[in-house]
Structure 1
Amino acid sequence: MQLLVVKVAVSLVVVVVVVVVVVVVVVVVVVVNLVVVVVSLVVVLKRNEAQEPEEKKKEFVLNILEQRKGPKEIQKNRNKRKIAQMKDNNGKKTTDREEVLEMCKTFYKSLYEKTVPTPKNIRMQSPDTDDVPRFTKSEVRKCLKDMRKNKSPGPDDITSDVLLIAGEPALDYLTKCFNEILKTGKIPTSWEEAKIIVIYKKEAP
């Protein structure tokens, strides 16, 4: 009788151990699956965050190409930063926006003014544009790739890497634009404009 009781007790212990092991295995499998799902979700979210700026840049450029907006139209919709104050050559400080703009205009005009007189007796011969080969899309793509990255954009806020992200529509538009300039000899007036950002310096505001 005692032997039977011992056997039953051992059997119950074995059953309990097996059940516990099975439960532990199931819990571990569930936890591992949850971890895999969470990690996968984090990776997807990070990837979407990394791709989102590029998609926004691409959409921004394509909208410009579709609407044929120029730098002036684009700039109207952008927030303008104001300079707190500026000091002229006489040490006078001003916070008036018009005065600050005039001071910047005067400074950069004198900075980039021609100092070497151009001889008037030089005879220029116009090149024969009929023999000049047209620009190809592959050439434009290579030029964009060769341009330095992370450089400040112009008034239209478009950089070379943004044009590359925009893909074929931007390359088609640029190639057509360059060939039109080559044909007519006329450069868009917007290309002569530049955006100058005055950076505050603590030592000399």
Structure 2
Amino acid sequence: GELNIPDTCKGPPILAAEVEDAIKHIKWGKSPGPDNITAEDIQALGNLGTEVIMKLLNDIYDSGCIPKDLLKSIFIALLKKSRAVKCEDHCTISLMSHMTKILL
């Protein structure tokens, strides 16, 4: 299961330095997304992980096929006020995979 994006424009490949920068900017201590992979897990992979992630992202970029697992998010309603019952008394957050954040 994948989402296919039309091939309308191509650009340069994603570089290891860009992946490293994206990984460095992931906030630690945040909840994982649907894949249950934490920022700490990704950062612990080191250079080998950067290379594997770079290859994965370039494969996605070149093929235009985004794996459905990277498109999944968990939406959670948080209370703005105690005993909230109306929709406007809540705010919604989205938990997405840290891999999706690197892709974006």
Q: 2:14 aligns with which of 135, 153, 157?
A: 135
Higher strand share: 2
Letter in 1 for 2:55: K
Unaligned runs of 5+ in 2: 1-6, 86-104
Number of residue pairs aligned between Structure 1 and Structure 2: 78
Q: Secondary structure at the match of 1:134?
A: coil
Unaligned runs of 5+ in 1: 1-125
By relative contact order (CA 8 Å, sep 6+), the higher-ranking structure is 2
Letter in 1 for 2:36: D
> Percent of aligned positions with the same letter in both sequences?
28
Corresponding residue of 1:146: 25
Corresponding residue of 1:159: 38
Higher helix share: 1
* TM-score between the two structures when normalised by the length of structure 1: 0.33
Q: Which has the larger radius of gyration?
A: 1
Runs of 4+ in 1 over 4 A off after TM superposition: 197-202
* TM-score between the two structures when normalised by the length of structure 2: 0.60
The structural deviation recorded for 1:128 is 3.0
- Distance (whole Å) between structure 2 residues aligned to residue 191 and residue 202 of structure 1: 34
Distance 1:155 1:127, change over 3 A: same
RMSD: 2.6
Question: Is contact 1:141-1:164 (8 Å) kept?
Answer: no
